[in-house]
Homo-oligomer: A and B are copies of this chain.
């Protein structure tokens, strides 16, 4: 499938945008007129640069407010159009986007639209230009693709077709199915955008909140499927107006965009295959996505392993060995394996730096990740050491694929006997329950797409958690069976003025236990101090839940938090924070399926108080 992207999606200068698109691997770009207008590059330079970079210049856009106007304005509009046709000739471009009139149209008359667009078409023909007519969702008179197609059909010129933009169609709730009935050769261009499901006016939604396919709520595989069934064999482009993308790193955003198209074409190919339908789009399928079976390990990077090792020991983890070559230690408890890595960790107090997941075939998973433009982790391995495919997530977490089942053999590098894989001490810890990863605000959508596509996780509905530093946006990603769960949190970026605040937003590793009360008592006996939970919390628990008085006392004594859902109960506690990380221990009773969300504000406030205390 030939891919393109509108320059308006990206930050920076036109030159920077073009370089980033080429580097990411797009086939072409749409020139958003204003990006050219503000550029010091002449049209000839843009054309030459595109040629050098191997980018086609696919669509000149937008040409606005043309049809449905009075004769005087029509002449001015034709004058304006002719200037742009000349400009396109200098750029070597032949396709212009004509948006349905939103401002200057005064007559609601399809015949008039047809007649005036014919005049434009005839003028364009003299310059070898083709016109792609698009119905904007907020067009004054023409606002559906059915209407724009009807007009294009009646214009009946070889150089006039339609442009279909998923946002303008799906934001209105229109059914894209009828697209399949449009002759593919009369579809001149296709633009894709996804968007979160928001209830707001369509114009604001479109101008600020569009996202790349797979980052929102639209069913774009069905949309692209309908396009494919029309016989369309042209370019699939991205046109995303997004406030964050406009101010994010241009190269990363370009990669994020192409990743979304690579995923979508694979999903659409699957859909069409299931329907037994062919496609002229040459959709590339990705290697099959594998559902991770569980966490293989979690890695903590730290300059000084001792404080983390002490916490792990207090929680009941056993030291299993030191890596034979590197300053890397392995701890485990039940199925939970935690690596403390002091390599290249100068100045890092402690941070969750990576994790591995178990999949049936790590090689295929790694191949799929590469096709999704994941950035491989540069790791050094000797010939006889395990070499797990690893990739940097947008939040810089390192993600590895390990073989499910018998183990990847890497434990042997720590002197652990292969055969004894999970040795069964009388441990209370079962496994890693979930990881909570902090996200810079710029990379949230990118991270969600990365983890859902590369790790094959599903995004659950997001929440917002109040904290003394602001609202924390939180999003859980999980496998269908919840064997792997990630909670992504966006850090609020406020309080910059209050320079004595601790800006770090710690990440955490949650381990699951079968008996949190016993585990907590053991940990206390080993000297662990938990995050202190205010007495007010327990009074509120007593008001909200009909809890046994003894349980309530135990909860308060051990600083345990409590929640309940329709399935069962949830008990959890937090350790102190070391550097930029801490541990959570959770017990899920009777299939409780959440994360104690009502308790998250308690945790955030307690950590905030604790920081404040430490500072004074």
Contacts and interface: CB of A to CB of B under 8 A. Distances in A.
Interface of A: 8, 11-13, 16, 33-34, 36-40, 42-43, 76, 79-80, 83-84, 87, 198-201, 204, 243-244, 246-249, 252, 440, 442, 466, 468-471, 492-498, 532, 534-537, 539-540, 542-544, 546, 601-602, 604-606, 608-609, 612
11 contacts: A12-B468, A34-B601, A38-B534, A38-B601, A38-B605, A39-B536, A80-B543, A83-B543, A87-B539, A199-B204, A200-B200
Contacts of A8: 466
Contacts of A34: 466, 601
B247 A37 contact: no
A201 B493 CA distance: 25
Nearest to A17: B468
B495 A606 contact: no
Contact of A469 (B76, B199, B247, B609): B247
Contacts of A466: 8, 34, 246
B495 A248 contact: yes
Contacts of A36: 536
Number of identical protomers: 2
A166 to B, nearest CB: 22
A605 B39 contact: yes
B42 A535 contact: yes
A534 B468 contact: no
Contact of A244 (B12, B200, B494): B494
B536 A494 contact: no
B537 A38 contact: yes
Contact of A495 (B11, B43, B534, B543): B11
A606 B12 CA distance: 11
Contacts of A532: 40
A442 B204 CA distance: 22
B495 A249 contact: yes
Given A199-B201, A247-B470, A602 B42 contact: no
Nearest to A12: B468
